[in-house]
């Protein structure tokens, strides 16, 4: 039998107002773009979307995945930041934006990574793809495997650069998913996305993300442009403990992609907030344990619980703690025993595992028999 207990956040938030007014939120801005998306990086909650699942060519936004895979390879020890990478003729010849490496040069991985992220170098992207996987085509297979692992359901990569190619497609929603992973999974390398300049071979090139100069809250992430894709920008910013990610694709100019991205970010920060509901260290309440040395166990959540809510809307949050039947010893700390469902105005915004907050060892024979008898009698009357 599932036991349902209304938590209502009394532990952390106090008794909610019975007739609290719902915060008013205006309609989101309409952007001059093919598709766009705004989401809370911490919770993944989408705040604004338009044509978010329409497949579009990603142009150099592709390089977020190229950089992500290189960071993964460094983290798992397959390559090192100071590994020298020999530049092939294919990498050197590639047109478009360049880091300006030369054939036969041996360039450290970390420099090439900056060439990809800051300078959007096609040559650097191909060089890294060849170093990691032997060829760009094999690297593209790795990109697609990683996209699947991240849940990018409508994405297919053909190359490491975003150079126009048949079947090289993604969506605004998938780009938002990738941006979240770039920020969360490799925080040390994410710092590179905020660098305004990178110099190589005596050539100093600026980051094409104009928002890095305009808004101190913005710390990334990547631009893209081709004739078919238009001008694109995935941007991220942090204010008052909230990180937002905006995805804007298919605008008419460099200036437009920056201005439209600013509209989305400003809207999100003005009207929404990331709210911490529970910490993993919080004991929500205690539950009876049958056959244990201890008669009760504390119930906690498996991880910190955050939700995205309208600014000032804390009083509209409620939570239900659902225990999966009666608890029996032994229990281990962290063992799932149910879940916590958090709702905002009746809509589920978080569904998190509830776990035992401590170990409960099995009791001795006589204690277990006594508990079994009590359980039988209680069950009979119930």
The number of CA neighbours under 13 Å toward the Cβ of 293 is 9
What is the Cα–Cα distance from 61 to 234, expressed in whole angstroms? 8
Sequence-separated (6 or more) residues with CB below 8 Å from residue 185:
68, 71, 72
DSSP string, 99-121: ----TT-EEEHHHHHHHHHTS--
Return the SS3 of 98.
coil
What is the Cα–Cα distance from 178 to 181, expressed in whole angstroms? 5
Q: Hunting for tokens 């100019």 — which residue is that?
A: 253
- Of 63, 94, 98, 222, which one is the catalytic site residue? 63
Annotated active-site residue 120? The verdict is yes
- Of 88, 120, 133, 316, which one is the catalytic site residue? 120
Decide if 305 contacts 342 (C-beta within 8 A): yes
Annotated active-site residue 60? The verdict is yes
146: left (phi over 0), alpha (psi -120 to 50) or beta: alpha
Annotated active-site residue 137? The verdict is no
Phi–psi pair at 380, nearest 5 degrees: -60, -45
Return the SS3 of 279.
coil
- Of 60, 71, 133, 236, which one is the catalytic site residue? 60
Active site residues: 60, 63, 120
């Amino acid at each position: 039998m599932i036991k349902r207990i209304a938590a209502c956040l009394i532990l952390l938030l106090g008794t909610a107002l019975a007739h609290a007014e719902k915060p008013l939120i205006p309609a989101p801005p309409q952007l001059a773009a093919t598709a766009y998306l705004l989401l809370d990086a911490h919770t993944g909650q989408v705040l604004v979307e338009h044509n978010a699942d329409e497949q579009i060519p990603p142009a150099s936004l592709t390089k977020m995945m190229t950089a992500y895979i290189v960071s993964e390879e460094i983290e798992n020890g397959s390559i090192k930041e100071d590994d020298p990478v020999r530049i092939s003729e294919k990498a050197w010849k590639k047109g478009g934006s360049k880091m300006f490496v030369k054939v036969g040069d041996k360039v450290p991985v970390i420099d090439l990574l900056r060439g990809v992220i800051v300078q959007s170098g096609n040559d650097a992207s191909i060089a890294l793809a060849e170093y990691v996987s032997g060829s760009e085509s094999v690297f593209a297979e790795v990109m697609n495997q990683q996209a699947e692992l991240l849940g990018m359901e409508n994405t297919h990569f053909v190359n490491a650069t975003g150079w126009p190619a048949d079947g090289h497609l993604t969506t605004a929603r998938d780009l938002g998913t990738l941006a979240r992973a770039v920020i969360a999974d490799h925080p040390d390398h994410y710092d590179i996305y905020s660098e305004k300049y990178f110099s190589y071979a005596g050539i100093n090139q600026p980051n094409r993300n104009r928002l890095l100069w305009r808004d101190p809250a913005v710390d990334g992430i990547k631009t893209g442009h081709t004739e078919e894709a238009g001008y694109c920008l995935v941007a991220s910013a942090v204010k008052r403990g909230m990180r937002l990610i905006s995805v804007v694709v298919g605008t008419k100019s460099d200036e437009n992609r920056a201005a439209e991205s600013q509209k989305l970010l400003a809207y999100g920060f003005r009207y929404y907030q990331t709210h911490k509901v529970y910490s993993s260290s919080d004991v929500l309440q205690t539950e009876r344990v049958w056959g244990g040395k201890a008669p009760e166990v504390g119930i906690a959540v498996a991880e910190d619980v955050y939700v995205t809510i309208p600014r000032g809307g804390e009083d509209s949050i409620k939570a239900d703690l659902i225990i999966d039947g009666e608890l029996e010893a032994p229990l281990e700390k962290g063992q799932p025993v149910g879940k916590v469902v958090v709702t905002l105005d009746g809509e589920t915004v978080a569904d998190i595992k509830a776990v035992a907050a401590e170990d409960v060892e099995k009791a001795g024979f006589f204690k277990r028999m006594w508990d079994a008898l009590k359980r039988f009698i209680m069950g009979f009357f119930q």
